[in-house]
Amino acid sequence: MPEGHTLHRLAAHFTKHYGGARVRVTSPQGRFADGARRIDGRTLLGAEAHGKQLFCAFDSGEWLRVHLGLYGAWTFGDADGERHLGAPRAAGGERRELARDAEGFVAPPPPVGQVRVRIASASGWADLRGPSACEVVSEEEKLAVQARLGPDPLRGDADPERARRVVAASRTSIAALLMRQDVVAGIGNIYRAESLFRAGIDPYRPGRAVTRAEWDALWADLAGLLRDGVRDGQIVTTRPEHRADPDAYPVARPDTLYVCYRTGEPCRVCGTPVAQAALAARTLYWCPTCQAA
């Protein structure tokens, strides 16, 4: 499932390439036909992300809300060429020369697969496939969705103290708490495991046993890692001194992560085999030595 940095990259892309443009909205698959009619022909003002939720604003006062889930992804054909953002798919390619219809909207290529939403402007197009949620909502409904989410470290309005109060009062493990979107929005399995490793925190430690200093450092580190992800388009959590080539950037796998997907391999810091276990319906990775209880 795409983590928070990907949604913020999507929001920035929509704002840059479609913000202020009148758009044609359709549903080739048909499942979003009613929603598409509500925003077809409107101006897309811009987009924002909150955790793993994407919100595209329209001049009607309504919003397109999208949660990609495990399988959702956007395909774009615009000034950045044809490419994909979301669940892993084929790499993008060069920009195509596209025809336009009588109203000036680009004519995208025939839809491939189950395209839930197609957005076309005068300069590009975007296709959405496989989201877990896709709907047109009012301003009040959007705010209600956001009210149920925890603070997003990438947003300027984030309140880390709100998340800390939940964590400090909970007997639940910090690893499980970090996966709850109502505690911290945008954190997925990779950022969860990697941030706890970098902090040296046992993933099974109860939230209430995490000190204030540890929480403040963990929040700051998560915010920094997410900002790096937005900038680079990839998750890199290893520090230069723990990579085979400290000067290489962007970092190539397998040097990007400390513990995720490295079960049984030696810890990059102490050499202890990386452990794994099921926690909060996902696979947890950690170093039993660097993150000792």
Q: Are 126 and 115 in contact (CB under 8 A)?
A: no
Q: Return d(Cα 82, Cα 93) in angstroms, integer.
A: 5
**Residues, the chain:** 293
Q: Is 140 part of the annotated catalytic residue set? A: no
Tell me which of 42, 52, 155, 262 is the catalytic residue: 52
> 143 Cβ partners below 8 Å, 6+ apart?
none
| Helix-helix angle 212-232:189-199, to 10 degrees | 130
- Structure tokens that stand for 160 in this block: 């880390």
Burial of 137 (0-12, 13-18, 19+ CB in 10 A): middle
- Any catalytic annotation for residue 3? yes
**Active-site option among 205, 227, 282, 288:** 282
Q: Which of 2, 108, 151, 203 is catalytic?
A: 2
- What's the count of helices (H) and strands (E) in the chain, helices before strands? 7, 14
* Catalytic residue flag (residue 161): no
> Is 142 noted as a catalytic residue in this protein?
no
**Pair 281, 269: CB distance under 8 Å:** no
Indicate the DSSP class of residue 273: B
The DSSP 8-state label assigned to residue 25 in this structure reads E
Dihedral Cα 5, 7, 9, 12, nearest 10 deg: -140
Pick from 2, 139, 127, 135: nearest CA to 57: 139
Set 3, 48, 62, 82: catalytic member: 3
User: Which residues form the catalytic set?
Assistant: 2-3, 52, 282
